[in-house]
Structure 1
Amino acid sequence: MADFKHGSDAAQDIDVLVTARHHDEKAGKLPLRADELDTLIYALITLQGWTPFLGAGNYNSMRMNGGFSSRPQFRLAIERGSGAEFRRDVEVLTAGLGRIADEFRLRHDGADKPEHRLLWLPLWDDAPLPLSCVHPLALEVSRRVRLIERDGTLQLLRAGSKSMRVDASIWNGDVLDPWTPILVIDGRKALSAQPDTLGYRELPGLLFSRNKCELPLLALPAEHERSRSAKLIVQALAGGKGKTNGLLQREISMPASVTRRLGHEVVDLARRSQLFVDRASEMSGKVFRSALIQFVDGSDDVDWKNKDFDRATRSAVDDYERDVDEAFFPELFRSIDAGHDDQLAQVHWVQWLYTLAQRRLPVATEALPTRSPSRPFALARAERVLHGGARKHFGTWLAQARAEAQNEDTTESTR
Structure 2
Amino acid sequence: MPISSHLSQSPEGDTFVKIRFLAACTALAAATALTGCSQLAGSADGPQKVTLWLMKGSASEDFITKFTSSFEQEHPDIDLEIKIQEWTGIGEKVNAVLAGKSKESADVIEVGNTQVAQYIETGGLSEVTLEGLRVWGSKDWLKGLSDPGSINGAQYGVPWYAANRVVIYNKDLFDDAGVKPGPKTRQEWISATQKLDKGSQQGIYLAGQNWYVLAGFIWDEGGELAVETGGQWVGTLGDDKGLAGMEFYKQLQALGDGPKDADEETPPQAQVFARGQVAQIIGTPSQAAEIEAANPALKGKLGFFPIPGKTAEKPGAVFTGGSDLIIPDKTPHRARAVEVITALISEKWQTELARTMSYVPNKTTLAHLVEGNDGAATMAVGAAQGRATPPTGRWAELEGKNPIKPYMTAVLTGQDPKQAAKTASDTISKVLSSDR
TM-score interval, smaller chain? under 0.3
TM-score (structure 2 length as normaliser): 0.22
Answer with 1 or 2: which has the greater Rg: 1
